[in-house]
């Protein structure tokens, strides 16, 4: 079969130890693609309403993408899926590295676990033989140690996904690691893996992944690569702060072309945004209370892009990526090799906590990766705890003597260690800011910066209201990887998908805050497109090149032999969105409960800085968005007939 996908999944019941292969009909892939779509279809059917996310009925899946391994570029992302212990609704998180092709090379598009094992185990698949093995000797080990031990045991081209102590300790902000500390971090699915006592998935396979039209795949990839390799020299690292300041000062804004972002991404990785984002108002500061005035270029200078890549020893490329935004850095002392900290991590542990110490950010990035804990949520929760301390809601008695003040690097370091170990105050905070606030009380809930329990990422909706809309309306709330006004501009979908509007090239910034119909169309298009992306296993950074330069729809047709139009693929994206929302409704989630806190909406507006005076009227934006999916615009619930129609397939 040469259709890009493998056409099979593996089911494992950890309670009984039963392992079985299951053939997936072609119709499933044509209706939902692979990856996210295939998972949305299966998990909707297989997880009963009300199932405990940390109980035996939850299903945890490791899925590859339809385009992974087909000769396409940027398609090395895999996804972990399951019912989220954070939102009690749909959960997913994806990650790069080299795991995605390994799933398919074992012969499967996805590996799905249910049940709970009596003792710690790991799944080993080698040359067609799948078996559960004892993981007693691995329990308690960090993600890097675990991976190294398992690769040594298995040999050859072996890839590992595993949890660290955070997942074992059932932290709701834990993720799943692969390639030595790259984390599928969000939705808290590390805790689901921990609850199943599944320490790792170890994959050694060499099956061929075949596209229907390999020559067309390569031709499309070569054309795409030309854009990726176009790399004029760019300004120095600290000058990015000045670019950010310029973008802040100008009353108007230009629609962004993703080529510019590609150039700085290839040079620095996501560190390119470290200073620019603060200066332009994209980065939340001081638990969303502050601004660029509180954490200006001098304070952020230690994490300027040049300072970050000074430690880079080699660029890191995920599987099938011609860009290479990652980097392997070396730290003095304990960690001679570490992944370059991403923008999200730098800001969550930096500006959000008013921490200027770059050394601590490098170190904590590695510590969190090894623990398997989400660095965004960890930073957000620390910032929340600091605010509680500064306001006297938490005292030194509560913090085990820690002086939790803004920018106190040593206290932040110690607090994160405690969160990983669930020790003292760390136990209170190990599930993210929402759950901590519920236990702390005393009015702390209003400064827990989360959406549906998912701690907010480092992109401020008061600068780009598209972010805050997606944080609030998505089945997986609090995500920066789905949509924004900026993303719509960079995706350039109007160039390939009929009927989508082209945004103005130059516009007054005030227009960003108008909750008009067109913004809703942009947002719905982002959600649909990103669902297609996640069905294909594509990287968002590839998609930022623009839909003409990144031939996602053409690759999908060439890989599968289908003849679908871009509009039909967008329809599939919409179908996946409705399925994910239906999953949430089935499990009792109220979509409106995902709305971000007032502070993130600028109610009360900031009195200084880049986002001074900005308030977002999110209600009409949400209504417009939900209506465009054909859902009830007041409640956000998909219509029953739509859900029934979706269920009939397969």
Partner 1 sequence: MSYTITDCCNGCGACMRLCPVDAIAGEKKEKHRIVEELCIDCGACGRICPEGAVIDSDGQVCSMIKRSQWSKPRFDEKLCASCNICIDACPVGCIGLSKAASEKNPYGYPFLRDEKACIGCGFCADECPVGAVAMA
**Residues interacting with partner 1, by CB under 8 A?**
69, 71-73, 76, 98, 101-102, 105, 127-128, 156-157, 205-208, 217-218, 221-222, 225, 228-229, 312-315, 317-322, 324, 327
Q: How far is the CB of 324 from partner 1 (least distance, A)?
A: 6
Identity of the residue, 315 or 511, whose beta carbon is nearer to partner 1 in the bound complex: 315
What is the DSSP-derived secondary structure letter of residue 251?
A: S
Q: Which of 37, 34, 160 is nearest to 106 (CA)?
A: 160
CB of 608 vs partner 1, minimal distance in Å: 39
| Beta carbon of residue 501, minimum distance to partner 1 (angstroms, whole number) | 33
Question: Measured from the CB atom, is 46 or 317 closer to partner 1?
Answer: 317
Residue closer to partner 1 (CB basis): 72 or 124: 72
To partner 1, the closest distance from the beta carbon of 218 in angstroms equals 5
Q: How many CA atoms lie within 13 A of 464 on its CB side?
A: 27
Q: Which of 172, 168, 91 is nearest to 136 (CA)?
A: 168
HSE value, Cβ hemisphere, 13 Å, CA-based, for 514: 8
* Distance (Å) of CA 242 to CA 239, 437, 443, 506: 5, 37, 38, 20
Give the nearest distance from C-beta 69 to partner 1 in angstroms. Answer: 8
Min dist. Cβ of residue 220 to partner 1 (A): 9
Question: Which is closer to partner 1, CB of 200 or CB of 321?
Answer: 321
Question: Dihedral angle at the C-alpha atoms of 238, 239, 245, 251, nearest 10 degrees?
Answer: -160
Supply the minimum distance, in Å, between the C-beta of residue 203 and partner 1.
12
Cα separations in angstroms, 588 against 172, 242, 279, 649: 19, 47, 40, 24
Tell the smallest beta-carbon distance from residue 320 to partner 1 (Å). Answer: 5
Tell me the backbone φ, ψ of residue 204, rounded to 5 degrees: -130, 95
Residue (72 or 274) nearer to partner 1, CB: 72
Query: Minimum distance between the CB of residue 410 and partner 1, rounded to whole angstroms?
Result: 33
Nearer to partner 1, 27 or 131 (CB): 131
For partner 1, which is the closer residue by CB, 186 or 339?
339
Burial class (CB in 10 A: 0-12, 13-18, 19+), 151: middle
Nearest to 359, CA basis, from 379, 330, 381 = 330
Q: Using CB atoms within 10 Å of the CB of residue 307, give its burial: 0 to 12 exposed, 13 to 18 middle, 19+ buried.
A: middle
Distance CA 355, CA 92 (A): 30
When the beta carbons of 74 and 471 are compared against partner 1, the nearer one is: 74
SS3 478: coil
Among residues 344, 355, 422, which one has the least CA distance to residue 169?
A: 422
Strand partners, 62: 80, 111
Cβ-based nearer residue to partner 1, 105 or 299: 105
């Amino acid at each position: 079969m040469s259709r890009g996908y493998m056409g099979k999944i593996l089911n494992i019941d950890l309670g009984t130890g039963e392992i079985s292969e299951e053939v997936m009909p072609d119709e499933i892939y044509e209706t939902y693609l692979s990856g996210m779509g295939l998972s949305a279809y299966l998990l909707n059917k297989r997880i009963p309403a009300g199932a405990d996310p940390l109980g035996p009925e939850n299903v945890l899946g490791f899925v590859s993408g339809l385009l992974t391994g087909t000769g396409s570029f940027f398609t090395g992302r895999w996804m972990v899926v399951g019912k989220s212990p954070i939102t009690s609704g749909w959960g997913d998180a994806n990650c790069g590295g080299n795991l995605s092709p390994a799933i398919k090379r074992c012969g499967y598009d996805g590996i799905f676990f249910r049940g709970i094992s009596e003792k710690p185990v790991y799944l080993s698949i080698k040359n067609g033989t799948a078996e559960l093995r004892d993981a007693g000797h691995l329990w308690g080990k960090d993600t890097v140690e675990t991976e190294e031990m398992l690769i040594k045991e298995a040999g050859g081209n072996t890839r590992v996904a595993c949890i660290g102590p955070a997942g074992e300790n059932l932290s709701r902000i834990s993720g799943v690691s692969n390639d030595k500390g790259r984390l599928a971090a969000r939705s808290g699915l590390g805790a689901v893996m921990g609850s199943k006592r599944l320490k790792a998935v170890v994959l050694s396979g060499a099956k061929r992944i075949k596209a229907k039209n390999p020559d067309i795949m390569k031709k499309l990839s070569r054309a795409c690569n030309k854009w990726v390799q176009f790399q004029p020299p760019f300004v120095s690292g600290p000058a990015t702060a000045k670019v950010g300041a310029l973008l802040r000062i100008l009353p108007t804004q230009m629609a962004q072309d993703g080529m510019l972002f590609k150039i700085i991404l290839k040079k620095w990785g996501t560190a390119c945004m470290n200073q620019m984002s603060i200066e332009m108002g994209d980065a939340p500061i001081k638990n969303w209370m502050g601004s660029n005035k509180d954490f200006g270029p001098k304070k952020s200078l230690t994490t300027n892009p040049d300072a970050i890549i000074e430690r880079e020893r080699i660029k890191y490329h995920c599987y099938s990526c011609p860009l290479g935004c990652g980097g392997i850095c070396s730290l003095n002392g304990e960690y001679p090799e570490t992944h370059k900290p991403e923008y999200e991590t730098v800001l969550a542990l930096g500006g959000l906590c008013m921490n200027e110490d770059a050394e601590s950010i490098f170190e904590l990035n590695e510590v969190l990766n090894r623990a398997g804990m989400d660095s965004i949520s960890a930073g957000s929760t620390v910032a929340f705890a600091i605010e509680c301390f500064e306001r006297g809601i938490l005292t030194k008695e509560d913090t085990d003597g820690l002086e939790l003040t803004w920018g106190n690097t040593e206290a932040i370091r110690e607090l994160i260690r405690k969160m990983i170990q669930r020790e003292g105050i760390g136990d209170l905070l190990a599930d993210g800011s929402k759950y901590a606030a519920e236990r702390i009380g005393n009015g702390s809930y209003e400064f827990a910066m989360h959406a549906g329990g998912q701690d907010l990422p480092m992109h401020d909706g008061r600068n780009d209201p598209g972010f805050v809309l997606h944080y609030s309306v998505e089945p997986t709330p609090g995500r920066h990887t789905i949509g924004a006004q900026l993303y719509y501009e960079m995706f350039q979908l109007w160039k390939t998908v009929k009927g989508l509007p082209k945004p103005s090239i130059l516009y007054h910034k005030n227009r960003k805050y108008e909750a008009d119909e067109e913004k809703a169309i942009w947002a719905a298009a982002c959600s649909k497109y990103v669902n297609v992306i996640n069905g294909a296993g594509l990287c968002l950074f590839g998609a930022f090149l623009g839909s003409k330069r990144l031939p996602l729809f053409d690759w999908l047709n060439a890989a599968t032999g289908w003849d679908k139009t871009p509009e039909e693929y967008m329809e599939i994206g919409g179908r996946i969105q409705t399925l994910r929302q239906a999953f949430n409704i089935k499990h009792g989630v109220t979509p409106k409960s995902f709305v971000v806190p007032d502070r993130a909406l600028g109610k009360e507006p900031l009195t200084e800085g880049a986002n001074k005076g900005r308030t977002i009227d999110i209600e009409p934006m949400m209504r417009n968005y939900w209506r465009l999916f054909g859902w009830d615009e007041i409640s956000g619930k998909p219509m029953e007939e739509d859900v029934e129609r979706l269920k009939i397939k397969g």
